[in-house]
Every structure is written in C-alpha cells, then in structure tokens.
C-alpha cells in the first residue's frame, strides 16, 4: 500500500512540471494583460512540482 501512496505524488509532480511548459509558451501568445499572470503561474507550477517530492516523498533510506 505504501508504494501506491508514493506513486500519486510522483505522478502529480511530473504532471505539474509538464503543465508548466505550455504556460511559459502561451504567455508569449496571449494578450499582454494576462501574459505576466500566466508566466507566473508557470513559475508556481515548477515550484510546486519540485516541492512535492521534497515534502511528501522524503528520503528513500
């Protein structure tokens, strides 16, 4: 059961990391009024994707 519970945060981290790439790319294609917010959302997505393994998965010992 423990292995299954460690897969979900890993999948979420990978999904967040991959979702940040379109956010960065589309921030240059949308109107300038929303571009900074979309780019910042991409930064937050990358930060969240790096935070998940550190806080939830921990060490492998």
Q: For 4-50, write each residue's pLDDT tens digit.
A: 677 888 898 999 999 999 999 999 999 999 999 999 999 999 999 99
Q: Note the pLDDT of residue 3.
A: 61
SS3 content of the chain, % helix, strand, coil (to 5): 80, 0, 20
Q: Note the pLDDT of residue 18.
A: 96
pLDDT tier at 54, thresholds 50, 70, 90: confident
Give the global pTM: 0.80
Determine the longest span between alpha carbons in the chain, in angstroms.
48
* pLDDT, greater one: 1 or 21: 21
């Amino acid at each position: 059961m423990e292995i299954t519970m460690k897969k979900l945060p890993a999948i979420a981290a990978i999904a967040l990391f991959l979702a940040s790439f379109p956010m960065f790319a589309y921030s240059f294609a949308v109107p300038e009024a929303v571009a900074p917010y979309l780019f910042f959302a991409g930064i937050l997505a990358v930060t969240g994707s790096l935070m998940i393994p550190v806080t939830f998965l921990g060490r492998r010992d």
